Structure 1
Amino acid sequence: MFTAGCYGQASLDLQGGPPDDGNPDPPPIQQDGSLRCDLGSVPADITLQTVAADFARVVHPAMVRESSGCISCHGTTQGRLFTVSSNGLESFYALRAAGFLTPESGSLLSRLVTTDESARMPRGAAPWSEREIANVASLTCQLAAVEARQPLSRPDEEFPQALLEPYGGPAIATYDNPFLGYLQLKGKVKAVFNDDWVRGGVDRFSQSVGLFGGVDYQNHFVEARVATADFFLGLDDLSRDVCLTAATARTGPFAGLDLAQPMVDVPAPVTVQYEMEQAALSSGTVPPGTPILASTGGRTSTGWNLWTNGTLTTANPYTFPASSTFRFTVKARGDLCGPALPNMQLRVDGVMVREWGVSNGTAYADFTHTQALTEGDHIISVAFTNDYNESGVCDRNLHVDALVVHGPTEAATGTQRADAAKAKVDSLYRRMLYRPATETERANGYALVKDLHGIEADLPKAWSGLCEGLMRSPDFLFTLPPSYEAHSGTERERLLLVKLAQDLLGRPPSAEDFTALERGQKSWEDMVDGYLASQDFHTYYFERMRVRTESEGTADTDEPARLWTHLMREGKPLSELLTAEYAVDAAFQAVPRATEHGKTGVLTMKGFIKNKPGLPHYNYAARVMTDFMGTLYEIPSEVFDMRGAATAASTVDPTSLCFSCHQTLTPLAHQRLRWDDEGNYRTENVEGQPMDDSDRGLVATYAFKGQGMEAFATQAVKKEMFVRRTLNAQFALLFGREMRHALDERGVYKRLWDVSEESNGNLKAVLKAVATSPEYLRR
């Protein structure tokens, strides 16, 4: 009965489960790994649901166990093409969709029983027990019988049943916000500064394309996936140049701003008087709080007598509250002796700013000087410089009673200058980051410009420094300004619109766009529709598809990207990516092409075939499966060792390691044979024999059987993998990554699948669904 495919029929439980016999007979596996099943003997009450439930109950526990299980190699963190879920039903449907639960060679069962250690699973571990293998065999035949009795859509052509199960894994909390790409950075600089960064006829962006991780189709063909240290080296040059240029010319974000206006307000005047009788000799013990230090002389009842050359200096710097003019008054008298008057100097930071001859010998007089000083701390001193003595006759000395500092002498301005400067800071935030500055940001921005001006007295250059800082802000460098998290209502929608425009147009929104959304003239859907219909979108989409198809910048290698763009513009089915019977010219219009192409879309375009050799190394077939079917290949070290000497015959030999792993690549490579490596059509091989471009029946489970590339294309477009891969190209345009379709975004995937079904594969409808989704709108 086991051989019949329903082993244990008499002992089936109410769920129609597999046998519970601890010592079953070995399953009738053929030498090629296929399983003989008598489908007619499987009970009629066995359904897809009962097989799935039995698999989850009986087989799945063995797959997820730590020892001799599958999950150690096929867990969600292992990077394998197929992953084993912790959910039994999910794993069953995923295995079924992947074709691993069939009675054919290459199935899960054949991997469990093979004696080839390079293909046996679990690799490097003890084999499963006879009972466990029998369970897999029984359920495999039951599933084959169910599918034969009630033909359903092929499991690889329907939305994966596994993904209809709710996600039960851990929450995924990653920072999901793409960094600006090269084209987006160019678009943002053009929008903010009206500057294309061309200097002296040299395009500095093109010169820096490598630093910014862009593509120029000459030396750089692959985009950087993340921001690198080189990006910030390029940003140093870019920000310094465009900011200073704009600040000097008062263009871009500085348009209409008077950068020459003083920034520091003039405070109300203050008078501070230093009494010299409170001074102390600096060479002795200085009492705490002493305001003046004397280098020579001694205290008197009314002040300090400098009886030799020396200074009276403020013990601590005097803090001048603003860059302004201040009045200094020294109360002094002199002891006259000799032909010259006592010489008194007023010094600031050790530099003389005024000197007097002190003629009054008996009464103190005021000696006044007005001096312009910069804001901040300065040391003030009074100096006696020409001591003189005639023994027994006279002695020239300088007596100082007080030093008075008064100012600023200009009219007080309150806070009007600072307020005006902070308003300019806010303007820069709004024009460069598309949001107002917070109170702290206004204060910090003002302080930065003021400090830079203190270092170099060049106000436009100081303002340029703030601009450079804003270009390094996350709100400038990410497609979605991260500060959106702190906003709500209109401000939040404004920042989301920044992301939408950069995702679809490669540049920020225009002022008219902001106005239309904020005043309710257009809804979010209206904005999406308008962008998708714009020429800017078509231009940017084409550039993104050039990167997606790895164009080399030639007319031929651009054609696959032109087809993508044509399908988007015209609302044609996404299936025509592989089945279009036409070419697309430089104007993105469909034009006839030779009949030998048939329904092959990009697959037989010169620009796609070029640089993708056929046999023996499968480059073309592997790229087709990776680019359009989402298949990734793990190449073991032994394959690298043998590839150098591989021949066409050895790679397609059914006993070879290549063939055992790549049963899709070999028949696909044969189907492409009528197209040489330059994309030219041919009907004979080099020996003059007719081409056999069929799949040659090499693989019984090959899903794309038939003659030539049209047979492959017309069947490939029905596959869930093709639909998912194409939907992901649209999703990635707005999210900067592919969907986590098997994890927490399976609901997103189902919605996009349904939109694609309902719209007959309209790519624009898919993009709109992404742009209006709760996930994109962060709701």
Structure 2
Amino acid sequence: MSATPSRPWSLAVAVLASFVAGCLGEATLDMQGLPGPGNPNPQPPPVQQDGTLDCDLDRVPAGVTLASIASDFEREVHPALVRQVSGCISCHATTSGRLFKVGLNGVENFYAIRAAGYLTPASGSMLSRLVTTDESARMPRGEPAWNAREIAAVAALTCQLKAVETRQPSSRPDEEFPPALLEPYRGPAVATYDNPFLGFEQLKGKVKAVFNDDWVRGGQDRFAQNVGLLGGVDYKDHFVEARVATADFFLGLDDLSRDVCLTAATNKTGPFTGLDLTWPLTDIPAPTTKTYEMEAAARDGTTIPAGTQILASTGGKSGSTGWNLYTTGTLTTLQPYVFPASATYRFTVKAKGDLCGPDLPNMQLKVDGVLVKEWSVGNNTAYADFVHTQAVAAGDHILTVGFTNDYGETGVCDRNLHVDALVVYGPTEAATGTQRADAAKAKVDTLYRRMLYRASTPEERANGYALVTDLLGIEANATKAWSGLCEGLMRAPDFLFTLPPSYERFTGKERERLLLVKLAMDLLGRPPSAQDFTALEGGQKSWEAMVDGYLASADFRTNYFKRMRVRTESEGTPDTDEPARLWTFLVEQERPFEELLTGDYSVDSSFQQVTRPTQHGKTGVLTMKGFIKNKPGLPHYNYAARVMTDFMGTMYEVPAEVFDMRGAATASSTVDPSSICYSCHQTLTPLAHQRLRWDDEGNYRTQDEQGVALDDTDRNLAATYAFKGQGMEAFATQAVKKEAFVRRTLNAQFALLFGREMRHEQDERVIYKRLWDVSHEHDGNLKAVLKTLATSPEYLRQ
């Protein structure tokens, strides 16, 4: 039998003449198989003027299988796809923004090209693009054409594939799990740090849980005021979430952490609940005595011997003992004395005076140049002890003994001050050992447990304690010092990532505890409660039970709805929230996710199912006013492109030459197989026509602006269009069967827990297959998909 009637080959011969002129000889193309090594110049394949290929399916041997075709494709065609000159990979590399991407694995490329509909005898196929004489549509664009043997191989495999699919009808290639992804991934290892940064809503949830603070000050929502800095969405000025942390985020975090930490520390709330922040930080050590012998002083301005401890501004030695300040002057410690703790110290100055005149010699004691005590020295024959007790802050301090009132009467008397020694003793309070430091470090550990949900390490406790004591040394305000530690913890990776990175060093219950933090942040948008931790760690609930409980909670619905508002790019209005409400309803009620596109109902603001006018049919979000609005239809194709991107995972790249020709393009010209627009618009243009009964505001109509009845069929504009039929219901009911739709929907759930889409073509093809199977086994129940993800080895880092 023949798939199509015989047609003249005149066009194909002309097309290929430039490829094989002078070298065709008597060779012919045997459609039973590939051109053999001895036949390098086969005749042109029978490609018709409209780009279709005549295949004699009866001549394809019965032994040809899908696997054998894939193998032949890898051997005969794949090398041409990936070569640098005249290949496809230069335009269609995996890093490009092209609609179709070429990888490095030949079998995977075959199945991908087949699923995309490019290995068919229809117009618009890979073969028709290889042989066309229209340079704007020919592939490879701007490169030398493929040779006759390579083109013949593509034609032979196209007909073989048609024969296999005709003899053994099954689901369409684009509706089955990609066979290539059943093979183990053999590409390079993916070595990225796979841990999502905290999102805006998760940050709000964490601050509320840790501090019991919604950051409203004076009636002003400070989160709302900083939504741009913190990468959030407010549906007024900010509509797209930040995907990664930015410098602006840390500016916002500075403001947030400073405010909520100081408020909590001042009010003894949140992580500071029950903590006495006024308790001294520094312990009282056992007392020590330090004696400065003044006869060992050195005179300022002279050579200072090594080891000198006292510098004298005036005077000289007083015999063998002490120093004689015979003019006004000072005796000062050359190096600061280190006071080991903030405590009380006793200072003893051994001194005597030479009396003269009406006043006694005046002696002062200063700490860091500040007068703390002065005496009138009346003893003039023997040294006496002058004692003063003074509270001194821990740290380095300069001590000074001074003489201030020199006086003399010529030939009668001279007033001087003789200082024998300065003795520092203390602390005078009872020693406390390490109890104050231990208590402070215990508070540091408490903050770690309450803010980061784990115990601190000895090093972290020591560093936290040092930070608080240092801050207290800068400003004598214990509340601010402890608030400073809190601010530091809010900048810690364990606070800022959904999964605390320190989980890597833990095992057992400790590791499970930190994974529970991630689970709650992902599903609920907030950390676990104390009861959650107790239930898991005490064995009252298994991990699976925790997942079930979270998925059944009101917090999950609230968080999921917020995530879907972002996913559907809501503008925060009831209309634009409608798609997110439907998505949330499907998950909560465990309805098939196909109803996202085929539901014949809507969901109101109380998340109850409500009926829709009959003109909507089975179109789900596709005809919701809030989804259509701001997505114009013809002639710009915004709506069609967004549908294909949002629900089919198709990304579009608009090259410069398309911009150059858009002004003169018409809907029909975009689906001309010879047009540069064709690869994209064989989908976009038919879909745009199917939407015609809905205007750009989302209102239903049966006539256009001129009163002409609307034809909302695909109009058979593209032979390869996979969603043929009338209206959006025709598109929806066929789109939900496609592997691309299933994968895109599963990816929305995957992103909820992993913060990104699956690497389904790389190292995560196994989990993709697992999710595919679960979705089919549970009739599209997304809650079952989420549970599979949350209990998977990949999520649990096993």
Q: Per the shorter chain, which TM-score range?
A: over 0.9
Deviation at 1:80, TM superposition (A): 3.4
- Following superposition, the deviation at residue 125 of structure 1 comes to 2.1
CA deviations on 1:475-528 (whole Å, 9 max, x unpaired) are: 111111111111111111111000000100000000000000001110110000
Give, in whole Å, the separation in 1 of the partners of 2:341 and 2:124: 83
Q: Which residue of 1 aligns with 2:242?
A: 224
2:561 corresponds in structure 1 to 542
1:692 aligned to 711, 720, 730, which one?
711
The equivalent residue for 2:789 is 770
The one of 314, 328, 336 aligned to 1:317: 336
**Higher mean C-alpha deviation, range 331-340 or range 115-124:** 115-124
Aligned residue in 2 for 1:155: 173
Within-5 A mapping of 1:80-159: 80-159=98-177
- Per-residue Cα deviation, 1:571-599 (whole angstroms, up to 9, x for no partner): 11111111111111112122111111111
Partner of residue 36 from structure 2, selected from 19, 27, 35: 19
Deviation at 1:653, TM superposition (A): 6.3
Question: Cα–Cα, structure 1 residues 151 and 593, in superposed 2: closer, same or farther, change >3 Å?
Answer: same
Determine the C-alpha separation between the residues in 1 that align with 2:675 and 2:160: 31
The aligned residue for residue 201 of structure 1 is 219
Query: How far apart are residue 19 of structure 1 and its match?
Result: 3.2
**Amino acid of the structure 2 residue aligned with 1:129:** N
Provide TM-score, normalisation by structure 1: 0.97
Superposed counterparts of 1:167-566, under 5 Å: 167-299=185-317, 300-566=319-585
Shift of 1:644: 5.4
TM superposition shift of 1:234: 1.2
Could you tell me how far apart the structure 1 residues matched to 2:448 and 2:136 are?
A: 61
Contact kept in structure 1, 2:352 and 2:379, CA below 8 Å: yes
Counterpart of 2:103, as a letter, is S
1:84 Cα offset (Å) = 2.3
Once residues 98 and 673 of structure 2 are traced to their aligned partners in structure 1, the CA distance between those partners, rounded to angstroms, is: 24
Deviation at 1:225, TM superposition (A): 1.6
Give 3-state SS (helix, strand or coil) of 1:662's partner: helix
Distance 1:165 1:76, change over 3 A: same
Distance 2:299 2:215 in 1: 63
Secondary structure of the 1:401 match is: strand
Report the Cα distance in structure 2 between the residues aligned to 1:465 and 1:278, rounded to whole angstroms: 45
Deviation at 1:654, TM superposition (A): 6.5
Q: 1:37 to 1:448 in 2, by over 3 A?
A: same
Q: What is the CA RMSD across the aligned residues, in angstroms?
A: 1.8
Indicate conservation of the 8 Å contact 1:345/1:384, yes or no.
Answer: yes
* CA deviation profile, 1:93-116 (whole Å, cap 9, x unmatched): 111111121112222222222223
Amino acid at match of 2:431: A
Evaluate the alpha carbon distance shift between residue 157 and residue 297 of structure 1 in structure 2; reply closer, same or farther with a 3 A threshold.
Answer: same
**Whole-angstrom distance in 2 between the partners of 1:230 and 1:401:** 63
Report percent identity of matched pairs: 77
CA distance in structure 2 between the aligned counterparts of 1:598 and 1:142, rounded to whole angstroms? 40
| 1:593 matches 2:612 | yes
Residues 116, 645 of structure 1: alpha-carbon distance in 2 compared, 3 angstrom cutoff: closer
The one of 623, 626, 629 aligned to 2:645: 626
Aligned pairs for 1:562-711 (under 5 A) are 562-643=581-662, 651=670, 656-659=675-678, 661-711=680-730
Tell which deviates more after alignment, 209-218 or 507-516.
Answer: 209-218
Q: Which amino acid aligns with 2:134?
A: D
**Contact (CA 8 Å) 1:94, 1:161: kept in 2 or not?**
no
Worse-matched range after superposition: 480-489 or 30-39: 30-39
Equivalent position to 2:84, from 53, 62, 66: 66
Q: Which residue of structure 1 aligns with residue 18 of structure 2? A: none
- Quickly say closer, same or farther: Cα 1:57–1:650, change in 2 above 3 A: closer
Give the deviation of 1:601 after TM superposition.
0.8
Residue 723 of structure 1: how far off its partner (Å)? 0.3
What SS does the aligned partner of 1:398 have? strand
Superposed displacement of residue 370, structure 1: 0.7
**How big is the shift at 1:739?**
0.3
Q: 1:645 deviation in Å? A: 6.3
2:90 is the alignment partner of 1:75: no
Matched residue type, 2:487:
E
Report if the CA contact (8 A) 1:211-1:234 is conserved.
yes
> Higher relative contact order by CA 8 Å / sep ≥ 6: 1 or 2?
2
1:444–1:33 distance in 2 versus 1, CA, 3 Å: same
Residue 181 of structure 1 contacts residue 213 of structure 1 at CA under 8 Å; is this kept in 2? yes
Q: CA shift at 1:44, angstroms?
A: 1.5
Residues 531 and 537, structure 1, Cα contact 8 Å, conserved in 2? yes
d(CA) in 2 for partners of 1:661 and 1:437? 56
Question: What's the counterpart of residue 19 of structure 2?
Answer: none
Kept after mapping to 1: 8 A contact 2:314/2:329 = yes
- 1:133-153 per-residue CA deviation (whole Å, 9 max, x = no partner) reads 111111111111111111121
Matched residues in 1 for 2:461 and 2:723: separation?
Answer: 64
* Residue identity matched to 2:168: Q
Q: 1 CA distance for matches of 2:129 and 2:31?
A: 27
Q: TM-score, normalised by structure 2?
A: 0.94
The residue type equivalent to 1:74 in the other structure is H
Structure-2 separation of matches of 1:116 and 1:165: 38
- TM-superposition CA deviations, 1:381-405 (whole Å, max 9, x none): 1111111222222222111111100
- Contact 1:578 1:600 (C-alpha < 8 Å) held by counterparts: yes
Partner of 1:732: 751
Paired letter, 2:602: A
* Preserved CA contact (<8 Å) 2:689 2:711: yes
Deviation, structure 1 residue 34? 2.1
Q: What SS does the corresponding residue of 2:677 show, helix, strand or coil?
A: helix
**Deviation of residue 369 (structure 1)?**
0.7
In the alignment, the residues of structure 2 paired with residue 579 and residue 541 of structure 1 have an alpha-carbon distance, to the nearest angstrom, of: 21
Alpha-carbon contact 1:557-1:607 (below 8 Å) kept:
yes
Deviation track 1:338-357 (CA, whole Å, cap 9, x = no partner) reads 22211111111112211111
Once the two structures are overlaid, the 10-residue window that deviates more, 754-763 or 127-136, is 127-136
Provide the residue aligned with 2:23 in structure 1: none
Letter of the 2:404 partner, please give it: T
Query: Is this contact kept in 2: 1:8–1:19, CA < 8 A?
Result: no
Which deviations, in whole Å up to 9, do the C-alpha atoms of 1:314-371 show, x marking residues without a partner? 1100000011111111111111122221111111111221111111111111111111
SS for the counterpart of 1:525 is helix
Cα deviation per residue 1:199-228 (whole Å; 9 max; x = unaligned)? 111111111111111111122222112222
| Whole-angstrom CA distance in 2 between matches of 1:131 and 1:632 | 33
* Partners of 1:28 and 1:35 within 8 A in 2: yes
Give yes or no for contact 2:97–2:653 (8 Å, CA) kept in 1: no
Q: Deviations over 1:691-712 (max 9, x none)?
A: 2111111111110111111111
SS at match of 2:144: coil
**Structure 2 CA distance for aligned equivalents of residues 216 and 230 of structure 1:** 16
Of stretches 613-622 and 387-396 in structure 1, the one that deviates more from structure 2 is: 387-396
Taking the aligned partners of 2:302 and 2:772, their CA distance within structure 1 comes to 89
CA contact (8 A) 2:51 2:124 kept: yes
Secondary structure of 1:313's counterpart equals strand
Rounded to whole Å, the distance in 1 between the matches of 2:260 and 2:135 is 62
**Structure 2 unaligned blocks of 5 or more:** 10-26
Instruction: Measure how far apart 1:646 and its partner are.
Output: 5.4
Alignment partner, residue 754 of structure 1? 773
Amino acid at match of 2:334: A
In 2, the alpha carbon distance for the partners of 1:281 and 1:31 equals: 111
Q: Which amino acid aligns with 1:507?
A: R
The CA deviation at 1:74 is 2.5
